[in-house]
Chains A and B, each alone.
Chain A
Amino acid sequence: MAHLSLTNVGKTYGGSTQPAVAGVDIEIADGEFIVLVGPSGCGKSTLLRMVAGLETVTRGDIRIGDTLVNRLDPAERDIAMVFQNYALYPHMTVRDNMAYGLKNRGESKSVIEERVAEAARMLELRPYLDRKPRALSGGQRQRVAMGRAIVRQPAAFLFDEPLSNLDAKLRVSMRMEIRKLQKRLGTTSLYVTHDQLEAMTLADRLVVLNGGAVEQIGAPLEVYRRPASTFVAAFIGAPAMSLLDARVDSGQVMLDGHALAPVAHAPGPITLGLRAEDLRITDAGLPMRVDHVEELGAQRIVHGMVGDQSLAVVDTGDATLAGTVRIAVAPSKVHLFDSTTGRRIEAAAQPAPVPAE
């Protein structure tokens, strides 16, 4: 168990001028579960692989515990990794797959046996210990990959999209299992995913990456409630936050000529962010032409147009919607972003304070 610190970590591939990862700083406390999230190509996997030692670090320092690991071999870093396609050794049994790393570190037979048995018990793998990976289902292989990480009792777990090869149902149950297991073992974890739902449910803190740089670091709810940029706003939360071109005029956010909410901001163009779940259909307010309605059972998402910009609204009613409806939003739920930089404009609409975690 250890804390993990990344200081100004960067990676530029040979022959490329654009860095794949540009100066990332993250301090990870002992036992914390950090999720790196972002769209494909944002550098999240590269960052994880640099921590693992599978990619060279071209800039900055990576420390596991108090050890600078930049130049250490992967096997010397005291980490364990769970790969996307599990990377089980096809010619070894489940037992040998788990034991292999320990054997190479010179652990005694009894210790190896004990740890493998313990991991097998935790992951309900006992009936399969003598099988080869090819005789296992996808979910079971996933567990073996987890087991291989657990037996090492490493300073940190590294997960590289470990659930993306599973079907939707299994993914949800494995997600909970990983979370429970991590809490129980208390091992510092770094987890890469492109699935924002997975990120939200697993993380103690999220690191949202875009184009190799950190957009925002924070607890899931904090990131959800106060996205630091339009990028984060659009990435975290489903349905995605609607981002609209709006103006501030005489202390009001004006959208398509209608005053939406009072703000303390100088007049001028801004980007307005509205979450579908913060909007409600009322009798008076912003007019929206209904385009189509997605029925989800418990609720429905109404897609419509305000002027020539699209907007989504969550609605729980069951009245037939057609033509134009009127939309309202609480002033505290209005997000404002700089229309050129895309950064969040703070203290604009006096949002409700984020409750302490």
Chain B
Amino acid sequence: MTDTPLTLAQTDGRALARLRRWWSGETANPVKRVQFDRPLTPWMFLLPQLAVVAIFFYWPSVQAVTSSFYLEDPFGFGATFVGLDNYTDALTSRGYLSTASFTAFFCVVVTALSLGIGLLLAVKADKVIRGAETYKTLLISVYAIAPPVAGLIGMMFFDMHMGPFTEIAAWFGHDLRVGIDYWDTASALIVISVWKQIPYNFIFFLSGLQSVPVSVREAALIDARSGWRRFRDITLPLLAPTAFFLLVINITYTMFDTFPIIDVIVKDKPANNPMTLVYKVYLDGFKGNDIGGSSAQSVILMVVVAALTVLQFRFLERRVHYG
């Protein structure tokens, strides 16, 4: 298990190097020393995946880009080319900008909290011996719960009639009105999203911690008396690659995978409720029938995600060198 988190990283590190070689026109190194040399068989094996990718990835992606330059008639009678209008409309509209800033805020808070709590629990679970397996199982099991189910359970907890959180807030003299008050809804979204994401971070941090060689920890035990110092100087730097990987994954999670949670809590009533950019794409496209605008927003999101992913792989490339 020691080097497991690095395995994919290695592939993609090499993969990037291969891309460079490919661009520069050199022949790529064969992956294997011996390979089959048949012109048709590989295509037979590749065909199913390629077909799915072409039809369900490239076709819609291209369509998203094209329709972002058109203004579509709401009744479906043709479309007019409008150039970058959809983009400028989106980027200058107040609604879009406030959604964008909420998305950023939401990302920062959810990522910080779920990473922090996940790390804290992983460090403690790594330390205890008694009951370690039980803690692990309990802390991991929530991972499997679907975001909409998390949203539903969360909604009950924030229910205005009988939700425990509403009652707790009432003790402190706060009238919690999730679904009506902007910041109340935002808090509920944050709590539920963090709750759902902690197990994922926990699993990766724990596996990262367990891949720190025992003897390195022991050397640290001899070198430093204070447990906090050992954590800060030795454990944390060695966890940095895992943490960075998780940082990107968590941002992606908050941007995209929280969609069902928002949908369940906000329930198609955007009125005065916070939402993320992805939810707005869905709302404008499917509820507002603004296909061009929705597509333009999609393309903007594509650029953001693509940048994040490239960043992640670039980093993973370097991450290989540790250890």
Contacts and interface: CB of A to CB of B under 8 A. Distances in A.
A101 B226 CA distance: 11
A112 to B, nearest CB: 13
Contacts of B220: 89
B26 interface: no
A179 interface: no
B135 to A, nearest CB: 19
A91 interface: yes
B37 interface: no
Contacts of B225: 73, 75-76, 104
A76 B213 CA distance: 22
Interface string A169-185: 00000000000000000
A312 interface: no
A22 interface: no
A74 B224 CA distance: 9
Contacts of B226: 104
Interface in A63-92: 73-76, 79-81, 83-91
Contact of A81 (B219, B233, B234, B237): B219
A89 B224 contact: no
A100 B233 contact: yes
Nearest to A154: B222
Nearest to A83: B215
Mostly, the B contact residues are: helix
A85 B233 contact: no
Given A90-B238, A90-B323, A91-B322, A85 B213 contact: yes
B127 to A, nearest CB: 15
B146 interface: no
A80 B234 CA distance: 18
Contacts of A321: none
Contacts of A258: none
Interface in B108-153: none
B238 A91 contact: yes
A330 interface: no
A52 interface: yes
A131 interface: no
B32 interface: no
A75 B234 contact: no
A79 B219 CA distance: 11
Interface residues of B, number: 21
A292 interface: no
Contacts of B221: 53-54, 73-75
B161 interface: no
B33 interface: no
Given A54-B218, A81-B219, A87 B213 contact: yes
A121 interface: no
B223 A85 contact: no
Interface in B218-273: 218-226, 229, 233-234, 237-238, 240
B9 to A, nearest CB: 15
Contacts of B53: none
Nearest to A81: B222
A90 B220 CA distance: 12
Interface string A84-111: 1111111100000000110010000000
Contact of B229 (A52, A90, A91, A104): A104
Interface string A134-150: 10000000000000100
A76 B222 CA distance: 8
A75 B323 contact: no
Contacts of B215: 83-87
Given A91-B322, A100-B223, 8 more contacts: A74-B218, A74-B221, A75-B225, A83-B215, A83-B219, A85-B215, A86-B215, A89-B234
- Pairs of residues from A and B, 3 with the lowest C-beta to C-beta distance, nearest first: A87-B215, A101-B223, A87-B219
Interface of B: 213, 215-216, 218-226, 229, 233-234, 237-238, 240, 321-323
